[in-house]
Each structure stands twice: as structure tokens, then as C-alpha cells.
Structure 1
Amino acid sequence: METMLNKIVPENLPYKHCAEGPDDMPAHVKACFLGSSLTVPITDGRLHVGTWQGIWLCEHRDEAGARKLVVTLNGCPRDGPTPNSPLSPLASTNSSR
């Protein structure tokens, strides 16, 4: 992947933005191709991807600083509140009550 990204976005082009180093602007362009967020399916507590799928964390700079990973979980546990449970925010909108 890095070889292909370097062919598409060479680091030696005369970029105008280089305030943080010569690899800064190419890193921005490469990040645009790959994105900066990801939705990951989890089923029964396990990563739910295909046989040949995986998750890559990519750093496009040669001299990058420290990075932080933010994980946000959406959903509810299988044994958690149901839509009819008094704990569920949907309980007040249920027309059967």
C-alpha cells in the first residue's frame, strides 16, 4: 500500500504547504485517500470482517509525533435493555404502552 501511495502522491513534488516538514503535505493527501475514521462491525464480541479483511493503522510521515486512538462504541449488549425496557430511551415512544 505504501508503494502505491508513494507513486500516486510523490513526496518530492513542489508542494506549497510544508510548515511541518517536507513529508507533511504528502501525508495530508495520502490521508485523504484512506480517511481518518472507520466503522468496524462487532458481532458476539468479535471482529466481524471477511476472511481477507483487516484494519490498517497508517502513518504517512517519516518523523511523526505521538498519535492517539479514539474508540467509540455504539449499540447495546445482547443481554442489555430491550426497546420495551423502562431503561431504554425508546420506551417512552412505544405506542403499545
Structure 2
Amino acid sequence: MQTSSMFSPAKPTFAPLRVRSLYTRPTPSTANDPSLMAEAAAAAGAAPKWAQKTITLPPQKRGCHLITPKIKKEIAQDLSEFKCGLAHLFLQHTSASLTINENYDSDVRDDTETFLNRIVPEGRSAPWRHTIEGPDDMPAHIKSSMFGCTLTVPITNGQLNMGTWQGIWLCEHRDNATPRKVVVTLNGI
């Protein structure tokens, strides 16, 4: 009796490693590849650049708000100096959050707020002990931790390199919000 094995070697699920010399100057065929531009700049002795700006956002009503235009406007001059790099956004608050999501249909922002309010109970009957600043405070802290207070976005040719339908949101989790500060740090070449 002949048996056959059901086992077949697994195919790799990763891309093969590309190895390039760090001493290669950019050519027209590599001039638009950010990773190759970074290597070429390093080989040519270009020093990484840094820029940082704190942006104050006006108080927003509770909910999710598209802030991409404001962020881009505030960092446009510095951003234009970078061919390749990273933009790091840090929200200096514990009762609001940042996320990247749909930038076109405001229903997505409204539905996200509805979802957050359903999964994190609020009010006097909620089980939270921390209520010094009001019944919406502890739920705001939990929601802030769920989405987080940081984002990192690639920079390519002086632009934030986000998808067509992506936008940066400020999620305000308090009923009576205050101005919010976002520190934007740019690093690259």
C-alpha cells in the first residue's frame, strides 16, 4: 500500500530581503523610492533634520473631529523641507485621543462616537470610582487609552503620506472640553 504525505513545505510569507550598498548614489530609477533616497542621503553625508511644533486646537464639542487640514496648515512650511521621514503626533491630554480613519463621510465619526458611548458606560450608575471631575471624566480616560494619544505618519516628498480616504481625528471625550495641544515632531531628510 502506498501512502502520500499531506505535508508540503510552507512557502515564506515575507518579502525577500533587498540588500543595497549604502555607498550608492541615487539614479533616476531610484530617485522616487524614499528608502533608497534615505540611504543615498546617508551615504552622501546628509544629516537628518528635526522640526517640532505645538499646535493648539480650539475646544471641540464631544465627538470625533477631522483635524487633518489644521495640522497640515500648521506644519506646512517645515514639512516641505523633508523628502523622506516621519511625522509623530502626540496629544498632551488624558481625556481625548488621536486616531486615523475615514476623512470623507462624517457618519463614520458619528458612528464611532456612538460605539464608544455604548461600550464605555457613563453617568452616576456607571461603576467608576474616579468621578472628581464629573461623570464623563473616567469614561473619557478609558476612551483615550483605547485610541491612544500618539500617531506616526510617513513623510514623502514634503507631504504626509496617508491613504486617499485617511484623515487625522481628534476624539474629544469630554462634555465641556478645553483647548487641546498636539506636539508634532518631524524627523527625516
1:55 alignment counterpart:
168
Q: Which has the higher contact order (CA 8 A, sep 6+)?
A: 2
Please give the residue correspondences for 1:84-95 in structure 2 after superposition, counting only pairs within 5 Å. none
- Structure 2 length-normalised TM: 0.38
1:35 alignment counterpart:
148
- Matches of 2:159 and 2:148, distance apart in 1: 23
- Structure 1 length-normalised TM: 0.72
Please give the residue correspondences for 1:5-84 in structure 2 after superposition, counting only pairs within 5 Å. 5-12=116-123, 13-76=126-189
Return the offset for 1:17.
Answer: 0.2
Q: Secondary structure at the match of 1:39?
A: strand
| Structure 2, unpaired ranges of 5+ | 1-111
Q: Which segment drifts farther, 30-39 or 7-16?
A: 7-16
- Matches of 1:66 and 1:49, distance apart in 2: 26
Output the amino acid matched with 1:10: P
| Structure 1, unpaired ranges of 5+ | 77-97
Q: Which segment drifts farther, 30-39 or 50-59?
A: 50-59
1:4 alignment counterpart:
115
- Matches of 1:56 and 1:41, distance apart in 2: 17
Aligned length: 76
Return the offset for 1:68.
Answer: 1.1
Give % identity: 67
Q: Secondary structure at the match of 1:26?
A: helix
- Matches of 1:14 and 1:67, distance apart in 2: 27
Return the offset for 1:7.
Answer: 0.8
- Higher strand fraction (1 or 2): 2
Return the offset for 1:14.
Answer: 2.7
The runs of 4+ residues in structure 1 deviating greater than 2 Å are none
Deviation per residue, 1:36-69 (Å, 9 max, x gap) = 0110112111121112221111110011222211
- Matches of 1:63 and 1:43, distance apart in 2: 37
